């Protein structure tokens, strides 16, 4: 074959492999495993380093755990907040692009894997789709394993072209970008020109300032979100840049909703550290949301999982920031009362955070006055007033119960069981409470009968949540004020669900972030027999610290390392590791060979340590692995914090 013919054959095989991978992952294989292997073998002969051969995409659009968590960004309300936050540091400024955050992994100079942000710890695998996006380089000139993060977006011109040639149901470039990335049709991904702008480089030249990192990314072929750098921030120079960008916003070919500001120098970022939620060295300043006038047609009431009713206005359609808005929230009953809003009123609608439509004011009052309901729209039970809210008093309420099931499914990450499927199973009498998901009567065959071919995948996903970490179990119960963050706090303080149920309000309020009201809600919820106890009766097993069984792994060099079994492999052990670190805070810097960061965190938490995301005077121990951060080590020594190497730490544990 000529070189042209070889190139053509490589392209053909690449297309076929991508197509059949996708079909397999969605449970719709068209060829046998042997036939698929033959395609890969043929491509390997012609092009042994082809990136397609190294794809590590997960089945069923599965989850990918991020090497480094993709944290949120704290928000500033005004320029004064920015100046206080900057603290005199040199700052880098990026566009805050309104798109979809992606994490790209490269190894040996080749694109390896892509994942969405998800919940920050793990996202959806998008490797196969990203292989088809031409604006993302598939090769870079370094061999290290590195991570590049950025925003995937649909150019406004491309959005307009698509809607002109083939009108879609998507009402904004961002929504169309998200919808396109989820497409099973890979050819559509090539046809629609998605773009990617990088904003972060992890794992390479960590001591470089951000300006230098942006330059590296550009040299590798990436577009970046970088705008400019300010060496000495003042209200005047920050305001000028912000106003300039806001005035030119409409001329850009991509949607932005503000600016992202970061400490430019690596030393400043290290000293700032991070919280569990966001890096302290990064902050966002958003543009004020553009509002539009509309008229209220009707006011309906949505029932949440705790029984609280939220008033929602159905309005005359209006376009805001490229999206057509037909419904908008009033926050709560008191807000609606204070506005005295009613059908026929002319109102001002904004998109809060450029996302959620909200009503802010009455522009022109109509002839009707506010009328609050006295019965739940779902179950017709009486309503009671609790502060700013109206609350359903019904013991059984269809909408409340459906929302509780949805909350459990979302918290435990049961795949495939969306709102429509949940409602269908509820209305057909198969599930009335989230514990019914684990009832032996809900068989695989029943799910397939009622939900089609996805029923089997949903059944397997439900099965995978029969064992849950204590924190996730608690967060999934739907108790007011008890989310994932509070679940972690309680899981670190109590050794079992039974122990938590026997606690008191006085004991709970001793913990940071728990008020008397929060403590009352938590205690009332965990002691309710139709929540946690009902799940346990139906076979849910809670994984406590004592359930983390340690085992030895051998590295390439033959060094034994302690690691964790996966949740499905956890087994109770009467010889559980003593909680040697109880009450102590630990920080680990550098790579621990043979373990991911997530495994390291689970390991030290199983020993009783509290995982810290930054170095401060409250830290008890710093443990260093390979390529440990020198600045972190220096800071720990300066603060008088005990420092151990990973080997020393392991040796002390064994002794």
> Same domain, yes or no, for 625 and 534?
no
Q: Who's near 6: CB < 8 A, 6+ residues apart?
A: 46
Same domain, yes or no: 528 and 555: no
Q: Would the pLDDT of 199 be above 90?
A: yes
Contact 201, 217 (CB under 8 A): yes
Chosen domain end from 286, 320, 335: 286
Q: Is residue 372 part of a domain?
A: no
Eight-class DSSP state of 208 = S
Q: Kindly report the number of other CB atoms within 10 A of residue 47's CB atom.
A: 18
Quick one: tokens of 235? 């209200």
Which pLDDT does position 176 carry in this prediction? Answer: 86
Tokens, residue 303: 């029932």
Task: Say yes or no: 430 and 298 in one domain.
Answer: no
**Sorting pLDDT into bands at 50, 70 and 90, what band is 571?**
very low
More confident: 548 or 468: 468
How sure is the predictor about 379, in pLDDT bands with cuts at 50, 70 and 90? very high
210 in the same domain as 92: yes
The lowest-confidence range among 33-42, 163-172, 185-194 is 163-172
Q: Sort strands 223-224 and 195-202 into parallel, antiparallel or unpaired.
A: parallel
Rg (CA), the chain: 27
Q: How far apart are CA 394 and CA 1, in angstroms?
A: 75
Q: Look at residue 276 and tell me whether its pLDDT is greater than 80.
A: no
Place of tokens 């042997």: 34
Residues 172, 321: contact at Cβ < 8 Å? yes
Task: Check whether 377 has a pLDDT greater than 90.
Answer: yes
Region 42-61 average pLDDT: 69
Structural contact between residues 295 and 363, judged by C-beta atoms closer than 8 angstroms? no
| Range 470-476 average pLDDT | 91
Residue 381 lies in a domain: no
Residue 45's domain spans which residues? 3-54
Whether 514 is covered by a domain: the verdict is: yes
Strands of the 282-286 sheet, one edge to the other: 74-76, 282-286, 256-263, 91-97, 226-230
Helix (H) or strand (E) run with residue 508 in it: helix 505-508
Mark whether 182 and 243 lie in a shared domain. yes
So what's the pLDDT on residue 33? 73
The kind and range of the H/E element at 396 are none
Residue 587: phi, psi to the nearest 5? -130, 135
In sequence order, the 6+-apart residues with CB closer than 8 A to the CB of 597 are 67, 68
pLDDT at 650: 76
- Considering the domain architecture, whether residues 144 and 232 belong to the same structural domain is answered as yes
- Encode burial over 219-254: b for 16+ CB neighbours within 10 A, e otherwise: ebebebbbbeebeebeeeebeeebeebeeeeeeeeb
Residues 281 and 296 occupy one common structural domain: no
Mean pLDDT, residues 270-288 taken together: 89
pLDDT tops 90 at residue 376: yes
275 shares a domain with 347: no
The confidence score (pLDDT) of residue 28 equals 64
Q: Residue 637: helix, strand or coil by DSSP?
A: helix
- Report how far Cα 548 is from the mean position of its chain's Cα atoms: 25
Q: What is the mean pLDDT of residues 562-583?
A: 43
Angle at the Cα of 491 (from 486 to 495), degrees rounded to 5? 150
Q: Write out the DSSP string of 59-91.
A: GGG-EEE-SS-----EEESSHHHHHHHHTT--E
Tokens (6 digits) for 259? 């600016």
Within 13 A of 406's CA, how many CA atoms are on the CB side?
17
Tell me what the pLDDT averaged over the chain comes to: 84
pLDDT bucket at 25, cuts 50 / 70 / 90: low
End-to-end CA distance of the chain: 66
Per the CB < 8 A criterion, the answer to whether 402 and 426 are in contact is yes
In a domain, 605, yes or no: yes
| CA distance to 37, 42, 430, per residue, from 12 (Å) | 15, 11, 47
Q: Which helix (H) or strand (E) holds 350?
A: strand 346-352
The rounded distance, in Å, linking the Cα atoms of 135 and 181 is 14
pLDDT in tens, 642-652: 888 887 787 67
Task: Name the pLDDT band for 628 (thresholds 50, 70, 90).
Answer: confident
Q: Are residues 227 and 314 in the same domain?
A: no
| Position 563 in a domain | yes
Question: What is the domain count for the chain?
Answer: 5
- Helix%, strand%, coil% for the chain, nearest 5: 40, 25, 35
Element (H, E) at 125: none
Whether residue 383 is predicted with pLDDT greater than 90 in this model: the reply is yes
Distances (CA, A) of 48 to 41, 54, 109: 9, 10, 14
Whether residue 39 has pLDDT greater than 70: yes
User: Does residue 653 carry a pLDDT above 90?
Assistant: no
pLDDT at 219 over 80: yes
pLDDT tens per residue across span 511-549: 877 888 889 999 999 998 888 888 998 889 998 876 654
Q: Which of 235-244, 281-290, 490-499, 580-589 has the highest mean pLDDT?
A: 235-244
Q: Would you state the structure tokens that stand for residue 41, as one six-digit string?
A: 């073998």
Per-residue pLDDT tens for 312-328?
999 998 877 666 788 88
If asked whether residues 157 and 84 sit together in one domain, one would say yes
Per-residue pLDDT for 622 more than 80? yes
509 and 569 co-located in one domain: no
Q: Are 251 and 157 in contact (CB under 8 A)?
A: no
- pLDDT mean over 195-208: 94
DSSP, collapsed to helix, strand or coil, labels residue 229 as: strand
pLDDT at 592: 81
Among 100-104, 247-251, 333-337, 633-637, the minimum mean pLDDT is found in 633-637
Q: Are residues 492 and 620 in the same domain?
A: no
């Amino acid at each position: 074959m000529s070189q042209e013919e070889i190139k053509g054959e490589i392209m053909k095989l690449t297309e076929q492999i991508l197509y059949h991978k996708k079909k397999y992952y969605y449970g719709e294989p068209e060829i046998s495993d042997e036939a698929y292997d033959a395609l890969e073998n043929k491509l390997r002969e012609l092009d042994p380093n082809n990136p397609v051969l190294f794809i590590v995409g997960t089945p069923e659009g599965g989850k990918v755990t991020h090497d480094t968590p993709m944290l949120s960004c704290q928000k500033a309300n005004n320029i004064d907040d920015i100046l206080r936050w900057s603290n005199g540091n040199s700052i880098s400024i990026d566009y805050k692009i309104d798109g979809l955050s992606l994490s790209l992994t490269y190894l040996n100079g080749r694109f390896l894997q892509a994942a969405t942000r998800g919940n920050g710890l793990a996202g959806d695998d998008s490797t196969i789709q990203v292989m088809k996006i031409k604006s993302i380089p598939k090769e870079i000139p370094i061999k290290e394993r590195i991570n590049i993060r950025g925003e995937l977006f649909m150019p406004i011109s491309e959005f307009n072209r698509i809607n002109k040639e083939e009108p879609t149901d998507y009402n904004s470039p961002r929504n169309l970008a998200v919808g396109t990335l989820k497409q099973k049709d890979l050819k559509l991904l090539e046809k629609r020109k998605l773009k990617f702008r990088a904003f972060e480089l992890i794992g390479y030249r960590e001591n470089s300032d951000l300006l230098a990192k942006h330059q590296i990314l550009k040299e590798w072929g990436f577009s970046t979100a970088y705008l400019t750098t300010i060496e000495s921030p003042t209200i005047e120079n920050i305001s000028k840049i912000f106003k300039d960008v806001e005035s030119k916003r409409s001329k850009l070919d991509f949607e932005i909703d503000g600016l992202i500001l970061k400490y430019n120098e690596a030393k400043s970022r290290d000293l700032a550290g991070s919280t569990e939620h966001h890096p302290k060295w990064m902050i966002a300043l958003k543009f004020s949301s553009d509002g539009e006038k509309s008229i209220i047609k009707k006011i309906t009431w949505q029932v949440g999982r705790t029984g609280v009713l939220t008033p929602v206005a159905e309005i005359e359609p209006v376009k805001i920031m490229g999206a057509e808005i037909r419904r908008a929230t009033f926050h709560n009953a008191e807000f609606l009362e204070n506005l005295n809003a009613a059908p026929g009123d002319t109102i001002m609608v904004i998109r809060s955070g450029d996302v959620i439509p909200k009503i802010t004011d009455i522009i022109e009052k109509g002839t009707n006055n506010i009328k609050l309901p006295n019965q739940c729209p779902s179950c017709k039970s009486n309503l009671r007033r609790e502060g700013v809210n109206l609350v359903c008093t019904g013991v059984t309420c269809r909408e409340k119960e459906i929302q509780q099931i949805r909350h459990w499914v979302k918290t435990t990450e049961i795949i495939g069981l969306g709102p429509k499927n949940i409602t269908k199973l509820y209305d057909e009498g198969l599930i009335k409470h989230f514990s019914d998901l684990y009832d032996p009567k809900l068989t695989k065959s029943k799910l397939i009968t009622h939900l089609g071919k996805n029923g089997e995948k949903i059944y397997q996903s439900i099965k995978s949540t029969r064992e849950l970490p204590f924190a996730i179990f608690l967060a999934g119960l739907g108790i007011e004020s008890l989310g994932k963050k509070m679940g972690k706090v309680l899981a670190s303080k109590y050794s079992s669900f039974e122990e938590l149920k026997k606690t008191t309000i006085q004991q709970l309020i001793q913990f940071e972030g728990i008020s008397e009201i929060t403590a009352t809600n938590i205690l009332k919820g965990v002691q309710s027999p139709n929540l946690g106890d009902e799940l346990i009766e139906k076979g849910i097993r809670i994984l406590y610290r004592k359930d983390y069984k340690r085992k030895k792994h051998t590295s390439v060099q033959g060094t034994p390392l302690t690691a964790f079994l996966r949740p499905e492999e956890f087994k109770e052990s009467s010889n559980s590791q003593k909680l040697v670190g109880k009450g102590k805070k630990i920080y680990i810097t550098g790579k621990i060979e043979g373990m991911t960061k997530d495994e390291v965190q689970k390991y030290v938490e199983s020993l009783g340590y509290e995982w810290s995301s930054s170095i401060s005077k409250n830290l008890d121990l710093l443990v260093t692995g390979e390529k440990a951060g020198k600045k972190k080590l220096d800071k720990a020594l300066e603060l008088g914090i005990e420092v151990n190497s990973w080997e020393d730490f392991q040796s002390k544990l064994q002794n």
